[in-house]
Amino acid sequence: MKDDQLAAREPVATSEKVLERIGHSILSGEFEPGERLTETDLAQRFGVSRSPLREALLRLEERQLIERVPFSGMRVVSLDDRTVDELYEIRGALEGLACRRAAAVITPEQIAELRGVLAQRSRALKSTRGDARQQPTIQDFHILIARISGNRELERMLAGDIWHYMRAQYRRWARARERMDLGHAEHLRIVDALEARDGELAEILMRRHIVASRQELVDAKARAEARGAA
């Protein structure tokens, strides 16, 4: 069962199904960033009419996964370095807030749950030899903190597609696993701070963690470009 909560009913309408499919195609990299899309092609490709397809595309546009220009065409969003920087900065502020609030209300059971997620992720990391594409619990840790904070709007915001998309572009370059181990240590320290009910510290640690993640992305991209063409 996937719907963790809040009655996420299975999609019955065609538009919902095609929305999930296209969204997944973008997030998984099946559609390249910047790739041009046409309604007719997509409709044929997915075997649906243009009407439900359009609905899906409009939603994706509102979620900033595709860009459209009237009467002209549409394309998959390509996040440039500046935008990724900006998004990471926003994410740091939001997750910092989540940590601060979570520290005030967290229960022992929830602490155990957080540690469980980290342990599961650590195991999965070893078994798959660091293949980042098969980590189902990476962002679960962050989302879980947001949920513990009790701020549903914050949780909803941090669960948005744009963040997944941002991370997806990261996976393209990051084959190295050093960062993963470092990240794991940082995660543990965040949980420690939450357990100590030190909201201020937890917020600072989370902000640093996100800054470090962003820095690793920059470095990984630089290395990749140095290998590729320079």
Tell me which residues touch DNA (CB under 7 A): 12-16, 37-40, 48-52, 54-55, 68-74
Virtual torsion, Cα 147, 214, 174, 148, nearest 10 deg: -10
> Using the rule CB under 8 A, is 16 a contact of its own copies?
yes
Q: Which does 90 bind (CB under 5 to 8 A by kind): DNA, its own copies, none?
A: its own copies
Q: Which does 39 bind (CB under 5 to 8 A by kind): its own copies, DNA, none?
A: DNA
Q: Are 204 and 182 in contact (CB under 8 A)?
A: no
Q: Which does 174 bind (CB under 5 to 8 A by kind): DNA, its own copies, none?
A: none
In the complex with DNA, which residue's Cβ is closer, 51 or 128? 51
Phi–psi pair at 91, nearest 5 degrees? -60, -40
Name the residue with tokens 């997915």.
Answer: 46
Site string for its own copies, 72-101 (x = CB under 8 A): ----------xx--xx-xx--xx-xx---x
Report how far Cα 52 is from the mean position of its chain's Cα atoms: 26
Q: Are 138 and 99 in contact (CB under 8 A)?
A: no
Q: Which residues pair with 98 in a beta bridge?
A: none
Q: Which does 196 bind (CB under 5 to 8 A by kind): DNA, its own copies, none?
A: none
CB of 59 to its own copies, least distance (A): 6
Cα(88)–Cα(94) distance, rounded to whole angstroms? 10
Q: How many residues does the chain have?
A: 230
Q: How far apart are the first and last CA of the chain?
A: 47
> Using the rule CB under 8 A, is 113 a contact of its own copies?
no
Q: Which does 48 bind (CB under 5 to 8 A by kind): its own copies, DNA, none?
A: DNA
CB of 57 to DNA, least distance (A): 8
Q: Where are the alpha helices (DSSP H) in 14-107?
A: 14-27, 39-46, 50-62, 81-105
Q: Which residues bind its own copies (CB under 8 A)?
A: 12-13, 16, 54-55, 58-59, 62-63, 70-71, 82-83, 86-87, 89-90, 93-94, 96-97, 101, 151-154, 157
